[in-house]
């Protein structure tokens, strides 16, 4: 059992608030949240928060973790030539071993940013899942069906396999995107959703061209095409949503779908700014994703949270758009619920122990006019003192505890990159 005491606790239910409570974890769960107790069990460790903040970890609701190998390769290039010259030729050379190492590299970065879970869509899922389990990190794999998959039915096998694989891993249904997936393949995925009563996800309206091409192809927007084939019968959502029309927003809101915004990637690739504030005002459930390191290029939730809010202020020409508390809800609570992790969404007794300690005694977190605003508007990875996933401390005071020396991971990642003579 681990005890966190002498600090502040950020809780979300039944209402968002900062408390002076103490928190105990037992195994992978939170065992107690409440006032300081005189009598308590023997703890394995007692962590003095020294006035710092204990909060639920950030959930990275859209990413391609192993794309770390493409970080800073072909920056400042136009999208299509970047994909053709840089990304695709290198991705074709990925191996299980490479994905294992590159995933661990991404997990290190998540932990250093207070991220405790990811929703990942990529390739070599077996190696990916193993890397997460070995590192002790929590993830949901999302299938990314598209026209290049040799065997679409593998998705059903993966769905069954990874949903009973390990407590840290689960699997959800998805297609890569409308523009990369034929109608019959999208319909096939919708039939799986029907069979398993499962929510479905996809990249959606990321670029203007993608949104326009779909209308040319089907005479309607991507969300409405997906609706027509029953893709969203059991819920789910989409990543990016930059080019949602008012009708698309209404559709997502009416159907309780999740919009995962990825502002860093959308800026870097010049894709657009998603209408996050409009979606929020319309009642859409919002979560946040970093997207891959190839296009972001960081996997840093402080940057994403800041961008979610700051970009809406300029987009809406209104400094009051998308306030900090709403962004924190998206990052900590909604991200968990979007990807089916209802037990990772708050700090309360019985919930899973996916927690972060934020150092409030750093210059960028001072003075304490408003601690929650500080996190969103001036917070940085520098402030992450500790990251715990499933009851285990995987990061503390700059050091990683994922069962492998980070230097070994860096070295393997660099060797793989060097081997890519494209």
Site for a second copy in 45-74 (CB under 8 A): 68-73
Q: Closer to a second copy by CB, 61 or 70: give it.
A: 70
Q: Is 153 in the site for a second copy (CB under 8 A)?
A: no
Q: Give the Å distances, CA to CA, from 66 to 53, 121, 270, 319.
A: 30, 10, 22, 36
Q: Does 108 bind a second copy (CB under 8 A)?
A: yes
Instruction: Figure out which of the listed residues 14, 35, 219, 367 binds a second copy, where binding follows CB under 8 A.
Output: 367
In this complex, which beta carbon is closest to a second copy, that of residue 174 or of residue 379?
379
Among 95, 364, 405, 419, binds a second copy (CB under 8 A): 364
Name the residue nearer to a second copy (CB basis): 269 or 393. 269
Q: Which parts of 175-214 interact with a second copy (CB under 8 A)?
A: none
- If binding is defined by CB under 8 A, does position 382 make contact with a second copy? yes
Q: Minimum Å distance from CB 288 to a second copy?
A: 16
Q: Which is nearer to a second copy, 348 or 373 (CB)?
A: 373
Measured N-to-C along each axis, helices 154-162 and 125-135 cross at an angle, to the nearest 10 degrees, of 10
Only segment of 187-195, 278-286, 343-351, 375-383 that touches a second copy (CB under 8 A): 375-383
Q: Considering the rule CB under 8 A, would residue 297 count as an interface residue with a second copy? A: yes
Q: Give the separation between CA 254 and CA 235, rounded to whole angstroms.
A: 11
Sheet holding 115-120, edge to edge: 58-63, 115-120, 138-142, 169-177, 200-204, 236-240, 258-261, 285-288
Q: Whole-angstrom Cα distance, residue 241 to residue 274?
A: 6
421 binds a second copy (CB under 8 A): no
What's the min distance (Å) between Cβ of 290 and a second copy? 10
Query: Of residues 321, 339, 357, 386, which one binds a second copy by CB under 8 A?
Result: 321
C-alpha span between 111 and 399 (Å, rounded)? 10
In what order do the strands lie in the sheet containing 29-34? 29-34, 22-26, 2-5, 45-48
- The tally of CA atoms less than 13 A away on the side-chain side of residue 10 is 25
Size of the site for a second copy (CB under 8 A): 76
CA distances from 79 to 124, 216, 244, 266, 306 (A): 24, 21, 20, 11, 24
For position 79 contacting a second copy by CB under 8 A, the verdict is yes
Whose Cβ is closer to a second copy: residue 41's or residue 403's? Answer: 403
- Within positions 263 to 282, which residues make up the interface with a second copy, using CB under 8 A? 264, 266-273
CA distances from 124 to 93, 130, 143, 175, 235 (A): 12, 10, 11, 16, 26
């Amino acid at each position: 059992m681990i005890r966190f005491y002498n600090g502040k606790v950020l809780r979300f239910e039944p209402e968002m608030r900062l408390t002076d409570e103490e928190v105990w974890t037992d195994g992978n769960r939170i065992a107690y949240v409440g006032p300081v107790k005189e009598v308590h069990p023997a703890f394995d460790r007692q962590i003095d928060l020294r006035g710092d903040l204990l909060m639920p970890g950030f959930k990275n609701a859209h990413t391609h973790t192993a794309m770390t190998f493409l970080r800073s390769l072909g920056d400042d290039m136009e999208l299509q030539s970047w994909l053709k010259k840089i990304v695709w030729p290198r991705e074709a050379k990925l191996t299980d071993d490479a994905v294992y190492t590159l995933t661990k590299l991404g997990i290190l970065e998540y932990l250093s940013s207070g991220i405790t879970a990811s929703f990942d869509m990529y390739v070599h899922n077996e190696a990916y899942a193993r890397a997460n389990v070995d590192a002790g990190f929590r993830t949901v794999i999302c299938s990314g069906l598209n026209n290049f998959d040799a065997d679409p039915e593998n998705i059903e096998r993966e769905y069954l396999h990874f949903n009973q694989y390990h407590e840290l891993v689960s699997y959800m249904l998805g297609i890569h995107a409308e523009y990369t997936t034929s109608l019959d393949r999208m319909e096939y995925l919708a039939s799986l959703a029907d069979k398993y009563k499962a929510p479905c996800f996809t990249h959606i309206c990321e670029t203007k061209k993608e949104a326009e091409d779909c209308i040319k192809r089907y005479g309607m927007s991507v969300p409405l095409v997906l609706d027509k084939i029953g893709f969203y019968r059991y819920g789910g959502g989409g990543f990016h949503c930059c080019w949602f029309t008012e009708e698309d927003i209404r559709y997502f809101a009416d159907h309780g779908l999740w919009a995962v915004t990825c502002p860093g990637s959308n800026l870097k690739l010049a894709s657009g700014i998603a209408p996050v504030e409009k979606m929020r005002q319309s009642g859409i459930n919002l979560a946040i994703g970093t997207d891959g390191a190839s296009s972001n290029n960081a996997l840093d939730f402080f940057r994403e949270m800041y961008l979610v809010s700051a970009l809406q202020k300029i987009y809406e020409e209104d400094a009051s758009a998308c306030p900090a508390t709403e962004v924190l809800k998206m990052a900590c609570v909604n991200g968990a619920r979007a990807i089916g992790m209802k037990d990772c969404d708050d700090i309360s007794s019985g919930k899973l122990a996916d927690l972060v300690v934020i150092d409030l005694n750093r210059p960028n977190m001072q003075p304490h006019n408003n601690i929650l605003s500080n996190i969103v508007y001036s917070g940085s990875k520098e402030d992450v003192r500790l990251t715990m996933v499933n009851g285990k401390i995987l990061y503390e005071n700059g050091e990683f505890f994922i069962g492998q020396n980070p230097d070994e991971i860096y070295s393997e990642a660099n060797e793989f990159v060097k081997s890519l003579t494209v």
